[in-house]
Homo-oligomer: A and B are copies of this chain.
Amino acid sequence: MPAQLMPPLDNRALWAATGSCPIEATMEIVGSRAAMLIMREASYGTTRFDDFAERAGMAPATASAHLAELVAAGLLSRESYQEPGARRRAEYRLTESGVAFVPVILALFQWGAKYRAVPDGLTVAHAACGADVRVETRCTRGHEVPLDELAIRLSR
């Protein structure tokens, strides 16, 4: 039905020219289910160790390992802080590159909501105006780009 997306090309020639594939590089960091769920939680505002483990439904050891990896990869920051009179706590927050990762989460969310999850489920909204949010593919000239009009190329 959808004819074809982009002319067939030999990607390996392209990857060879640049040294690495951005998608593969990304998948090396968040390619596991656990890492992606941690990023989901962080995107929802979770900051505490136990909350990550509990809400993402994983063992503390798993949460620990993946939180450390994501901190090392620069997507999360770990700061320990202490409110006066309380004990020390650690908190994990999205860094700038972590925030930049949110569109990935959103794209996964959007696809799953449409093709996998129950209808009338969750939506993501623009807090300021209340309207639903979706990810769009748009070019720098402002056109919304149909998915069959994408072309990959070397930028130089």
- CB-CB contacts below 8 Å: A114-156 with B: 114-118, 120-129, 131-141, 143, 145, 147-156
Instruction: Determine chain A's interface SS by DSSP, over half rule.
Output: mixed
Chain B residues within an 8 Å CB radius of A102: 5, 137, 147, 150
Q: Return the chain B residue nearest A115 by Cβ.
A: B97
Distance (Å) between the CB of A34 and the closest chain B CB? 9
Distance (Å) between the CB of A23 and the closest chain B CB? 5
CB of A22 within 8 A of CB of B107, answer no
A60 sits at the interface (CB 8 A): no
Instruction: Give Cα distance in the complex from A141 to B132, angstroms.
Output: 8
Interface size class of A (residues with CB under 8 A): 35 or more
Chain B residues within an 8 Å CB radius of A28: 33
Chain B residues within an 8 Å CB radius of A118: 18-20
A9 sits at the interface (CB 8 A): yes
Distance (Å) between the CB of A89 and the closest chain B CB? 14
- CB-CB contacts below 8 Å: A37-90 with B: 37, 40-47, 54-55, 74
From B37, B113, B148, give the contact of A99 (CB < 8 A). Answer: B148
User: Which residues does A use to contact B, with CB under 8 Å?
Assistant: 1-2, 4-12, 14, 18-29, 31-33, 36-37, 40-47, 54-55, 74, 93-118, 120-129, 131-141, 143, 145, 147-156
